[in-house]
Amino acid sequence: MLNVGGQQVIPSQTMKYLGVVFDSKLKYIDHVDYINQKVRKTIAKLAIVFQNTFGYGNTARRIMVKGCMKAIYLYASVVWGSALRYQSVIKSIRATQRKTNSICARAYKDVGYEISSVLAGMPPLDMVIEKRIISYSVRKKYFPVMWTVMEPFDIPINATEKALQIMLNQRLLESWNKLYMDNVPVNHWCRTLIPSVEWAVRCMELRPNFLLAQAVMGHGAFNSYLFKIGKRTSPNCKCGLEVQTPEHVFKTCVLYSESRPDDWSEGLSSESVRQYLIRATKQLWEEEKEEEKSGLNRVRRIRSRAGVPNTGAGPAPSSR
Ligand SMILES: [Zn+2]
């Protein structure tokens, strides 16, 4: 501890000035931690009106979340934006955004980042921040510009502001699409419904609701999911033929074939596909409720605790 003019001065590694947390090495990792927490606190307050089954509509959610989050992240981003060179920083921003995406998409909390961002219609924030930094650097003629998140491209020196924005928006979309394509395998069920980010943006809005988000993600009443979180001792479908994944339920299972669409090429943008997904997911939940009522799920839980294998689809054992 130092003593300056009779005042005790406590040394610190960081200092907050005009809302930016500066650290002694100008890494700005502490600042990113600070804004991540700030966004989480703000969003937690909004969560009351953002429930999965009720509350504000999709557009209102997006406007409110964007309004809270974007302003906080973009503030002084040209100062602290160099922190994007650390993978841990990008990871932490995406982890926070995953939470806000799940609110906008009415999805479960363990939704994957890449899918949640497309479903919510929210481009990766780290790319939005980088776009802002590049735009600022070009305007101020700070060359060469630093690319960290998006794929770099040569910016024409005489590009007008409007042309630059068009180029950057296009690059952001391409980089977002690459993130989705690289992280969601080509045989993943989501790719049937959302072939690419560019496609999703062209559709304007995917209008997710609670059931539709589950149908896309495979969360909710699917045995494959319930098995994964330890609520079933088997992931198998009631038809007994295969694991109850969304792909099995929606594409092949005979139990959920009513009004099944023949053509899936339009993905989530097709109204008949949407209606079918919602109806079949509802049917799964109704079956789940019936089983809960009949006590079958209780029997499964007891069996599971006792380590007795069960098919997940079999009949309830006699109560004798
Ligand atoms: Zn089946």
Domain shared by 26 and 87, yes or no: yes
Domain shared by 167 and 286, yes or no: no
Instruction: Find the 184 Cα to ligand 1 centroid distance in Å.
Output: 24
Q: CB neighbours of 146 closer than 8 A, spacing ≥ 6?
A: 82, 85, 133, 137
Domain shared by 289 and 163, yes or no: no
Residue 134 lies in a domain: yes
Residue 208 lies in a domain: no
Residue 3 lies in a domain: no
Question: Which pair of structure tokens corresponds to residue 105?
Answer: 């998409």
Domain shared by 173 and 244, yes or no: no
Domain shared by 19 and 165, yes or no: yes
Instruction: Find the 239 Cα to ligand 1 centroid distance in Å.
Output: 4
**pLDDT reported for residue 300:** 65
pLDDT higher than 70, residue 304: no
Terminal-residue alpha carbon distance, the chain: 75
Residue 214 lies in a domain: no
Highest mean pLDDT among 8-12, 28-32, 200-204: 28-32
When the pLDDT of each residue in the chain is averaged and rounded to a whole number, the result is 86
Residue 71 lies in a domain: yes
Instruction: Find the 180 Cα to ligand 1 centroid distance in Å.
Output: 29
Domain shared by 141 and 240, yes or no: no
Domain shared by 152 and 37, yes or no: yes
Domain shared by 186 and 226, yes or no: no
Residues with CB under 5 A from ligand 1 (ion): 237, 239, 253
What CA–CA distances, in Å, run from 143 to 83, 138, 245?
18, 7, 51
Instruction: Find the 302 Cα to ligand 1 centroid distance in Å.
Output: 24
Q: 200 with 194: CB under 8 angstroms? A: yes
pLDDT higher than 90, residue 98: yes
pLDDT higher than 60, residue 157: yes
Q: What are phi and psi of 189, to 5 degrees?
A: -55, -35
Domain shared by 189 and 253, yes or no: no
When pLDDT is averaged across residues 209-222 and rounded to a whole number, the result is: 88
When pLDDT is averaged across residues 90-111 and rounded to a whole number, the result is: 90
pLDDT higher than 90, residue 89: yes
Domain shared by 143 and 240, yes or no: no
At which residue do the structure tokens 């395998």 appear?
185
Instruction: Find the 238 Cα to ligand 1 centroid distance in Å.
Output: 6
Domain shared by 16 and 151, yes or no: yes
When pLDDT is averaged across residues 286-299 and rounded to a whole number, the result is: 78
Instruction: Find the 243 Cα to ligand 1 centroid distance in Å.
Output: 7
Residue 315 lies in a domain: no
**pLDDT reported for residue 318:** 39
* Total domains present in the chain: 2
pLDDT tens track for 230-240: 888 889 998 88
Instruction: Find the 206 Cα to ligand 1 centroid distance in Å.
Output: 27
**pLDDT reported for residue 117:** 92
pLDDT higher than 70, residue 62: yes
Instruction: Find the 188 Cα to ligand 1 centroid distance in Å.
Output: 18
Structural domain harbouring 246: 220-306
- Helical segments of the chain, H only: 29-46, 58-74, 77-80, 87-105, 113-120, 125-139, 161-183, 189-193, 197-202, 210-217, 223-228, 246-247, 271-294, 296-306
Instruction: Find the 312 Cα to ligand 1 centroid distance in Å.
Output: 12
Instruction: Find the 219 Cα to ligand 1 centroid distance in Å.
Output: 16
Q: What are phi and psi of 306, to 5 degrees?
A: -80, -5
